[in-house]
Amino acid sequence: MPKIKLAENTVQQIKEVCAEFGNKEGELINVLHKVQNKLGYLPAEVQEVIARELKTSVAKVYGVVTFYSFFTMIPKGEFPISICMGTACYVRGAEQVLSEFKRQLKVEVGESTDDGKFSLNCLRCVGACGLAPVVMVGEKVFGRVAPTQVVNIIKEYREGCASENAKSA
């Protein structure tokens, strides 16, 4: 399954995380959270290292990674866009907002644009239902988004002027 060889310090980083949790199999989910937080995603090669450290099978690690929607095996874009598809946002028009993002970026849900700038995902309820429909770009929340605003949101990030805001917000 693995195609690339991980850099030595990446392997070291993963091992450190595993050790932090006592290399215990029961801590697998916590380990995955922490590793994804450091590396951004969990490709097969990373899963192999984790399996070895926790003395469990790669199949089991893979089973857990693919079960939970929080874990991803595909790297996200520089500006990950998430559309809230909770019920409150749905009845206030989230679907139209989503299809406008798909149309503008020419990607499907779960994909990234060719230049790696944007990735598009859905999420379930940010809990800001008063602001429905809600779109998140990185950590920044855009509330009461109308389909006509979508083009401006993308433009804002494409031109880079908002990149600082997104990271610090």
Partner 1 sequence: MTDYKMHLLICGGTGCKAAESDEIKKSLKNWIDELGLEDDVQVVFTGCFGFCEKGPIVKVMPDNTFYVNVKPDDAEEIVKEHLLKGRPVQRLLYTDPVSKKAISDSKGMNFYKKQLRIALRNCGFINPESIDEYISRDGYMALGKCLGELTPDETIKEIKDSGLRGRGGGGFPTGLKWEITRNVESDEKYVVCNADEGDPGAFMDRSILEGDPHSVIEAMAICGYCIGAENGLVYIRAEYPLAIERLKIALNQAREYGLLGEDILGTGFNFEIDIRLGAGAFVCGEETALIHSMEGLRGEPTFKPPFPSVSGYLGKPTNVNNVETFANIPVILNKGASWFSKIGTEKSKGTKVFALAGKINNVGLIEVPMGTTLREVIYDIGGGIKDGKGFKSVQTGGPSGGCLTKDFLDTPIDYDNLIKAGSMMGSGGMIVMDEDDCMVSIAKFYLEFTLEESCGKCSPCRIGNKRLHEILENITNGNGKEEDLERLKLLSNVIKDTSLCGLGQSSPNPVLSTILNFEDEYLAHVNEGKCPAGQCKALLKYEIIEDLCTGCTLCFRNCPVGAITGERRQPHYIDQSLCIKCGVCYEKCKFNAIRLS
The 3-class secondary structure across 56-97, one letter per residue, is CCHHHHHHHHHHCCCCCCCCCCCEEEEEECCHHHHHCCHHHH
Q: Which is closer to partner 1, CB of 109 or CB of 161?
A: 109
Q: Which is closer to partner 1, CB of 11 or CB of 88?
A: 88
Q: Is 42 left (phi over 0), alpha (psi -120 to 50) or beta?
A: beta
CA distances from 162 to 138, 157, 159, 168, 169 (A): 11, 6, 8, 10, 10
Q: Interface with partner 1 includes 22 (CB under 8 A)?
A: no
Q: Interface with partner 1 includes 132 (CB under 8 A)?
A: yes
Touching partner 1, residues 25-64 (CB under 8 A): 25-30, 32-33, 63-64
Q: Which is closer to partner 1, CB of 9 or CB of 49?
A: 49
Window contacting partner 1 (CB under 8 A); options: 3-11, 44-52, 131-139, 155-163: 131-139
User: What is the binding site for partner 1 (CB under 8 A)?
Assistant: 24-30, 32-33, 63-64, 67-71, 85-92, 123-132, 134, 141, 143, 148
